[in-house]
Amino acid sequence: MASGDDYLFNMSKYLLELSLVQYRMNQYSASEIAAGALYLSMKMLKRPTGWNERLSHHTQFVESDIRSIAREHFKNLQDAQMSSLQAVRKKFSLPKYNEVAKFKCDVQRRKEDSTTASSMQEE
């Protein structure tokens, strides 16, 4: 069984790779895209620390800076299942990547932040 950090790492990589084929992601810098993927991964996996001062210091982004990018990542994740481009999804369905693409997002939208996934369950 993989550690929690492996899941977080692979989920972040999955979100990053899904963003590579999305033209709308070109408006963001690579560091913004990476920070948004990490932020969304932490939310989806219910990391208790959240986006803390240490992450803000190392990324130079505060949480409010990356919420809109996380929304885009979440749209990519929602669209991945129906996309004609399935290579990334198949890759991250392998045990080597902790089968993170097989996780199903159970979304609860809040008025102030409609992008965070409240929980994930294995399909």
Kindly state the average pLDDT of the residues 18-38: 95
- State the pTM of this model: 0.80
Q: Are 23 and 85 in contact (CB under 8 A)?
A: no
Kindly state the average pLDDT of the residues 49-61: 92
Q: Is the pLDDT of residue 20 over 80?
A: yes
Rounded to an integer, what distance in angstroms lies between the CA atom of residue 107 and that of residue 72?
Answer: 15
Residue 105 identity: C
Sketch the domain layout of the chain as residue ranges.
Answer: 4-122
Rounded to an integer, what distance in angstroms lies between the CA atom of residue 83 and that of residue 54?
Answer: 36
Taking domain 4-122, whether its CATH number is 3.90.1150.10 is answered by no
**Integer Rg of the chain from CA:** 14
Rounded to an integer, what distance in angstroms lies between the CA atom of residue 5 and that of residue 25?
Answer: 25
